[in-house]
Chain A
């Protein structure tokens, strides 16, 4: 089904081919019918082995035949001595190897070989490892063989070091070595359960030997580390609203707040939010005379967006950055280089390298335009991270990121305390449901984007000013919007279609300042 080229041929060649196939087909059908007849008759004998052998050699994906063969072998086992059983299954291995030569990627063949090894009185794992070596030397990317090798290694107790050496040999001799790198990624943690600070250079080849793989590995490491932990991002208490807001970095299952958690009688509250599953908690004290209070880990101190760097690790990464920059001079269009440089800079000093990072992203989009959406989203993520860091350094609750080609929003759990947000002049398509995390938001400016609906404005209890001019908010029967602002004079408690301007005037009344109507593109 794969890789069969359509070849044009003459009428005579067509006729010859047709006759040939008819012959083949007849042979196949009669053999198949004979086998299935035997099986229905419950015959488990040598003839069954011969017939299935004939068919499986050229049709190894005919799974039912492997099943029948196993039934026959199990039956024959019962009437044979141990050494005869050994011979029986050894010749089976011989047969399977012949099948594998024809079709090295048949699930049925490889599974049957595994099965045979469970029946062999004395499996020969050295031979099996040798088979894997030979098979991988022909096709280093054969994942069936790699999977089988992992079984052989486990059964025969080959050491992790030995296997690492094996991957070293393969990687050194072959450019298409992703499978080997993958295998290393599973072996190294077995050797070093707690990754050492310098272990980065063990896992990646030098940038000059294999730029793609090196970058891939660096990227994966950095992107993986950038994946944030599950944590309580922030706890916020509002006296006026008698409300505790808790922002988590990842989705969680909700449970009910114990009754009487927030009392409206006493003036001073000491709150503790316990996250029992994670054995963590956050304390927050609301003092007399204060309208609000919060508890939030420092994004800058806690290295929220990147992993902590030891001095050693820092210098390793600096050296890698230097190598990559050298390579970039030789190959200014090398996307792997560009991406690796960006990620290394982020790991080392996200704010210091911001300008360079933006420039490199621009180049990346030109050099690898197919993935420009990915680069735009990744760049947006980094800009948002930098803005969160800057907000913290400046000790303000204003988040401003306008005219920065933002294509996506993220880390909204870090914006629970934000009162003003300016996202104007970007390329945002939506304010996602997670926008509801901005529980303190009073002013939203998001003019000149490509926002298509108002879904993100749900459940923003303090929102008073909204500006969404020049977007793409759809005024059609299909788009429904639910706006509820219980602290304003207007309460909309039902769904309504945004069809006419008169209905929109109701919306406008719900906010002190509301600019939505102008400039919407349908």
Chain B
């Protein structure tokens, strides 16, 4: 517990108790890994095409498919998904400019271009799309200062720097961009606390830190990170419940089991987190009834949190799950097949 001290009238200090923002895990929360339930949940997700949540999340469908397929592959259940349908869907989402959209009729964007390339890498079918055009699209989004826009409308964010290099790395085409400038821009987003934000001057946030450390890993620049300082900021994300938050004084969320944990792994400091307590938290986020993981215990599940819960457990060493690559959030065996082994700090 933190406490606030304030001066009373006679000049002595008054102690005011203040709670740390956190959740309390109920004793009846799940404490074993229900892999089969999760596989069933994902396999059935989206089969009811008239589902409310499903339809409303069409704007991110490509990423949704990537989350579902990746978690199924990590659980050794990829074969239950409809490969042919998905590949046809991806083909229908590549636009003339080379970029790929989240769904048919939607506009192309770097986020969904990466997700599509990740999916096709899982399926070893990268050539069903026009790879050269994808490369041109990505290259065309780099700005003068080295940053990347998400699409032609110009939003700048270090997330997009990560999307750009991850996409190109998977395609073996990192050399087409101005690497020095790209690195320069990401480093200009490093803050006093060793973390990274969206743009220069933006507050450190675990999601951005994942993107930037992933970026620096792919581009061979991890030595530019202050690993001790950043590692400390990251391990301070762990709350008494064992869960991780995304920045100071926020609630824990299972997806930070990925953003924070993967970042720690990349900078060689994953041992700074209490692994057993984190594992308990992640397991408590499962829904025993429906399968899947929610952001925190008792909430509604979704494929996004299901992937990051399972991926987090994999990073923690759960042997029932395939090893996951902390930079790409894809099974290690897929990256080995591609021949991609980005550096990590030790």
Contact = CB atoms under 8 A, between A and B. Distances in A.
B247 interface: yes
B130 interface: no
B52 A115 contact: no
Contacts, number: 160
Contacts of B269: 374
Interface string A1-39: 111111000000000000001101100110000001000
A222 to B, nearest CB: 10
Interface stretch (B69-77, B223-231, B309-317): B223-231
A455 to B, nearest CB: 11
Interface string A347-376: 000000000000000000000011101100
Given A182-B191, A371-B235, A371-B238, A176 B295 contact: no
A432 B346 CA distance: 8
A390 interface: no
B2 A208 contact: no
A194 interface: no
A185 B232 contact: no
Interface stretch (B80-88, B104-112, B177-185, B324-332): B104-112
Interface stretch (B24-32, B33-41, B119-127, B192-200): B192-200
B52 A334 contact: no
Interface stretch (B165-173, B271-279, B333-341): B271-279
B204 interface: yes
A171 interface: no
A370 B277 contact: yes
A111 interface: yes
A497 interface: no
A376 B338 CA distance: 38
Contact of A36 (B105, B247, B271): B105
A67 interface: yes
Interface stretch (A140-148, A236-244, A417-425): A140-148
A216 B248 CA distance: 11
Contacts of A334: 3
A62 B109 CA distance: 12
Contact of A5 (B204, B248, B299): B299
Contact of B203 (A1, A24, A111, A146): A146
A66 B193 CA distance: 35
A387 interface: no
B55 A28 contact: yes
Q: Which of B109, B192, B205 has the most CB of A within 10 A?
A: B192
Chain A, interface SS category: helix
A374 B231 contact: yes
Nearest to B271: A373
Given A147-B202, A374-B231, A64 B304 contact: no
A5 B23 CA distance: 13
A211 B153 contact: no
Contacts of B249: 141, 176, 178
Interface residues of B, number: 71
Interface string A61-103: 1111011001000000000000000000000000000000000
A115 B59 contact: no
A515 interface: no
Interface residues of A, number: 65
B46 interface: no
A330 B13 contact: yes
A233 to B, nearest CB: 15
A220 B229 contact: yes
Contacts of A143: 197-198, 202-203, 205
B176 interface: no
A22 B4 CA distance: 50
Interface string B265-294: 000010111100100000000010000001
Interface in A197-219: 208-212, 216, 219
B307 to A, nearest CB: 12
Nearest to B242: A370
A54 B299 CA distance: 29
Contacts of B319: none
B180 to A, nearest CB: 13
B300 interface: yes
Nearest to A68: B107
Contact of A374 (B205, B235, B277, B346): B235
Contacts of A59: 56, 59
Contact of B155 (A111, A175, A209, A336): A111
Given A24-B52, A220-B192, A374-B235, A186 B295 contact: no
B299 A3 contact: yes
A250 B223 contact: yes
Given A220-B229, A251-B223, A330 B295 contact: no
B44 interface: no
Given A28-B56, A62-B59, A147-B198, A224 B226 contact: yes
B4 A1 contact: no
A499 interface: no
Contact of A330 (B15, B235, B277): B15
Contact of A150 (B154, B201, B300, B304): B201
A175 B4 contact: yes
B155 A178 contact: no
Interface of B: 2-7, 13, 15, 18, 50, 52, 55-60, 101, 105-107, 109, 151, 153-155, 157, 191-194, 197-199, 201-205, 223, 226, 228-229, 231-232, 235-236, 238, 240, 242, 247-250, 253, 269, 271-274, 277, 287, 294-295, 298-300, 302, 304-305, 346
18 contacts: A1-B305, A28-B56, A63-B59, A64-B101, A67-B107, A115-B154, A143-B198, A147-B201, A175-B4, A178-B203, A178-B247, A185-B192, A186-B191, A208-B13, A209-B5, A224-B226, A377-B272, A381-B228
Task: Rank and list the top 6 A-B pairs by shortest CB-CB distance, nearest first.
Answer: A370-B274, A185-B192, A374-B272, A4-B300, A64-B106, A21-B52
